Amino acid sequence: MPQNRGAAVRFESVQKSYDGETLVVKNLNLDIARGEFLTMLGPSGSGKTTCLMMLAGFEPATHGEIFLNDRPINNVPPHKRGIGMVFQNYALFPHMSVAENLAFPLQVRGMGKAEQEQRIKRALEMVELPQMASRRPGQLSGGQQQRVAVARALVFDPELVLMDEPLGALDKQLREQMQYEIKHIHENLGVTVVYVTHDQTEALTMSDRVAVFNDGVIQQLSPPDVLYESPKNSFVAQFIGENNKLNGKVTAVNGAGCTVRVDDGTELRADKVNVANVGDRTTLSLRPERMEIEPDQPLDNMLKGRIEELIYLGDHIRVRMSVAGNPEFIVKVRNRGQRRKLDEGQEVNVGWAAADCKALDAVA
């Protein structure tokens, strides 16, 4: 039996292979709390969608057990799991009205007409489409269809809602708007949501916790701020947000800090994350917004760099530099309307704090 009785979902030593040889999901152990919004994030082929399909019942687990509210569900058919699903392509019935689409999961569950009408009305109000009940999906915009798909997943009060790349077909502005709307619906209802995406901005925006997948393994499971500020390895640092990296060798270790000689011979001070000994190879991770060009006072690490390219992006200026042998070093300079001009080809000082420089493994 599962040990954590507060978990809505529990994966216990779950593995998945399609060919009997290669494991797409490798020994997954994961608890998802009741009412939590957990996002499975990762590149294509990382195993995140396979996990969702096993939880939904559309794919069998090769090994291990999946629990829903302490109940093993490996042998429970999908339609008896009480799970709501939202897909990227909406999966609405085109020949049915919006109300009929929402009524379908209620009819399957043998619900009476009066209660159906009440639940449909409530679900459409929840997604702010009460006036669309009689329209067919083809008469709605993409964003409205996605709202209907969310309403249909919630209309029968499921214990769990699974969302598989639900915003992938929307344009950028509508996608961002729907992120906030789904987040607010979740906060208002308190339903457990497991969300799959390859979009790291989406994951950071919506989630209580994010599980970063690569090669069938969770690389890190953390709240969004911890994931961004304290990546556990090079893969997570590269996959979450923009990131500069410098490779080098640890030359000194001092408590939580270390000194690293990067490959061009420059020595830098860093926060020691998961390197242990002097002589270890490591990858230094640096966020572009944590660096300063020509800082007002000296910082822990100060280097000379050459500006290669300037791109004006409104709220900030993206500066591509050659620094410590890396010609693709990115610094984000916040746009404060400053008079001092940066020029391509200019030699400048660039600096950052040791705490913002993470010494990670050399996997990436």
HEC string of the chain equals CCCCCCEEEEEEEEEEECCCCCEEEEEEEEEEECCCEEEEECCCCCCHHHHHHHHHCCCCCCEEEEEECCEECCCCCHHHCCEEEEECCCCCCCCCCHHHHHHHHHHHCCCCHHHHHHHHHHHHHHCCCHHHCCCCHHHCCHHHHHHHHHHHHHCCCCCEEEEECCCCCCCHHHHHHHHHHHHHHHHHHCCEEEEEECCHHHHHHHCCEEEEEECCEEEEEECHHHHHHCCCCHHHHHHCCCCEEEEEEEEEEECCEEEEEECCCCEEEEEECCCCCCCCEEEEEECHHHCEECCCCCCCEEEEEEEEEEEECCCEEEEEEEECCEEEEEEEEECCCCCCCCCCCCEEEEEECHHHEEEECCCC
Residue 279 near residue 261, CB atoms below 8 Å: no
The C-alpha atoms of residue 20 and residue 36 are separated, in whole angstroms, by: 33
Cα angle 55, 58, 59; round to 5: 80
The answer to whether 250 and 359 have CB atoms below 8 angstroms apart is yes
What pTM was estimated for this model as a whole? Answer: 0.88
Quick one: pLDDT at residue 79?
86
Per-residue model confidence as pLDDT tens for the chain (364 residues): 334 447 899 999 999 999 988 999 999 999 999 999 999 999 999 999 999 999 999 999 999 999 999 999 999 999 889 899 998 777 889 999 999 999 999 988 888 999 999 999 999 988 889 999 999 999 998 889 988 999 999 898 898 999 999 888 788 888 888 899 889 889 988 999 999 999 999 999 999 999 999 999 999 999 999 999 999 998 999 999 899 999 999 999 998 999 999 988 999 999 999 887 898 899 999 999 999 999 988 899 999 999 999 998 888 999 999 998 889 999 999 887 754 578 899 999 999 999 999 999 864 4
Q: What is the pLDDT of residue 5?
A: 45
The residue whose two tokens read 């996997």 is 363
Look up residue 45 and give its two tokens. 């082929």
pLDDT in tens, 27-75: 999 999 999 999 999 999 999 999 999 999 999 999 999 999 999 999 9
Give the whole-angstrom CA distance, residue 31 versus residue 28. 10
**What is the reported pLDDT for 340?**
59
